[in-house]
Amino acid sequence: MELEDPTMEGSTIKLTIKFGGKSIPLSVSPDCTIKDLKSLLQPITNVLPRGQKLIFKGKVLVETSTLKQSDVGSGAKIMLMASQGLHQGEGPVLKEASTRPISRTVVPDKAELTRPGLLVDKNRTDRWKATGVIALAQANLKEIPKEVWDCGSAVRVLDISENFIKEVPARISSFGSMQKLFLQGNGLSDESIQWKGIASLKRLLLLSISHNNLTVLPSAVGSLTSLRQLDVANNKLTSLPNELGLLTQLEILKANNNRLSTLPESIGNCSFIMEIDLSANILSELPETFTKLRNLKTLEVNNTGLKTLPSVLFKMCLQLSTLGLHNTEITVEFLRQFEGWEDFDERRRTKHQKQLDFRVVGSGKFDEGADKSW
């Protein structure tokens, strides 16, 4: 079949995507595949393509089919259903926050969004203001675009990860309603970030500044008292500030692949924390205040210099079921001497069995590497 030139007049069809009580108008080529349509909708809806189900006249549209093959014509209304847990961003499903896929799906850049067959009716600034979501990952940006600043208090999510941003100015404080900020993978240095601006974001739930060149996490981070997820992994941090203990709502801390030699005692004040990853640091011990983390479920300290753990960790942290100790000097025989080991080991085995059951039921294959962590 000869494809129609999508740049010619009359070569596009107008669609309305119904999602979350809103109507999203689009102009696309009839030869656009459902897969391409999902890619276009990702930055608009903040839902990953694999989490999108597009329904037209009661039938789910097949990714490999074109709109023409699916009998979708101009004026059609398509319903978008989003699967829970397949939103952009990082972090497990929380009550107030979206999710963390293990690997990020590439967000289409400006050139891709404007290729023939994928034309958006509304300009992107209007779309950003309407949705509150600005997705500009991997867009080859060297600075935050002017139109981003024009969105002001409408911004809830700002993703400028994996670019070449040289500065995060104090002006970022103008995004007073922002809940998620993704800055990872920009090569940011300590001088690149005006922390006064970030510290004023009192509604921020998620901050990701991993994969940069930071050597210091300033005390200003303690002002982010609503924070649920903090990702500072893959930097050059040698310590974490005492003010970390002010983040009493924190649930996930990722600080792996840094140069941490010690941790602040104040971490024990983060009583809601459920997951901590400190792998690939030069830690020799954990503070005894770890035993105050009664909601801790996962602790990863692989590839560290640890020789022991807080003596009553298993006794006090009764939710702990995953403990990563690869490439440390701590052995299972040593851990068996700890009070509360038997109960921890039972939780670990129960969780492991559930994972195996899921793998067997889901794929029919046994995963020999399923139990890599204690």
pLDDT tens digits, 321-333: 999 999 898 999 9
Residue 115, C-beta contacts closer than 8 angstroms, at least 6 positions apart: none
pLDDT for 122 equals 52
Q: Which of 270, 159, 258 is nearest to 215 (CA)?
A: 258
Report the C-alpha gap between 301 and 286 in whole angstroms.
10
More confident residue, 54 or 43: 54
pLDDT for 97 equals 33
pLDDT class of 133 with cuts at 50, 70, 90:
very high
Which range has the worst mean pLDDT, 105-109, 153-157, 242-246, 270-274?
105-109
45 pLDDT higher than 80 = no
pLDDT for 186 equals 96
Report the C-alpha gap between 221 and 218 in whole angstroms.
6
pLDDT for 374 equals 54
Mean pLDDT value across residues 91-115: 38
More confident residue, 49 or 122: 49
pLDDT for 46 equals 66
Q: Over the stretch 212-241, which tens digit does the pLDDT of each residue have?
A: 999 999 999 999 999 999 999 999 999 999
pLDDT class of 1 with cuts at 50, 70, 90:
very low
Report the C-alpha gap between 104 and 129 in whole angstroms.
24
Which of 79-83, 123-127, 335-339 is modeled with the greatest confidence? 335-339
pLDDT class of 167 with cuts at 50, 70, 90:
very high
pLDDT for 354 equals 78
pLDDT class of 160 with cuts at 50, 70, 90:
very high
50 pLDDT higher than 90 = no
Q: Over the stretch 252-310, which tens digit does the pLDDT of each residue have?
A: 999 999 999 999 999 999 999 999 999 999 999 999 999 999 999 999 999 998 999 99
Contact 258, 277 (CB under 8 A): no
Mean pLDDT value across residues 349-361: 74
- In this structure, what is the dihedral angle of CA atoms 345, 348, 354, 357, given to the nearest 10 degrees? -70
Q: How far apart are the first and last CA of the chain?
A: 57
Tell the residue number behind the tokens 């770890």, with chain if given.
290
pLDDT class of 352 with cuts at 50, 70, 90:
confident
Average pLDDT across the chain, whole number: 84
SS3 content of the chain, % helix, strand, coil (to 5): 25, 15, 55
111 pLDDT higher than 80 = no
Which range has the worst mean pLDDT, 121-125, 240-244, 260-264?
121-125
Token readout for 359 is 């793998």
Share of the chain above pLDDT 70, in %: 81
100 pLDDT higher than 50 = no
39 pLDDT higher than 70 = yes
DSSP string, 237-267: -S---GGGGG-TT--EEE--SS------GGG
Q: Over the stretch 143-154, which tens digit does the pLDDT of each residue have?
A: 999 999 999 999
What one-letter code names the amino acid at 173?
S
pLDDT class of 71 with cuts at 50, 70, 90:
very high
Mean pLDDT value across residues 5-28: 75
pLDDT for 355 equals 75
pLDDT class of 82 with cuts at 50, 70, 90:
confident
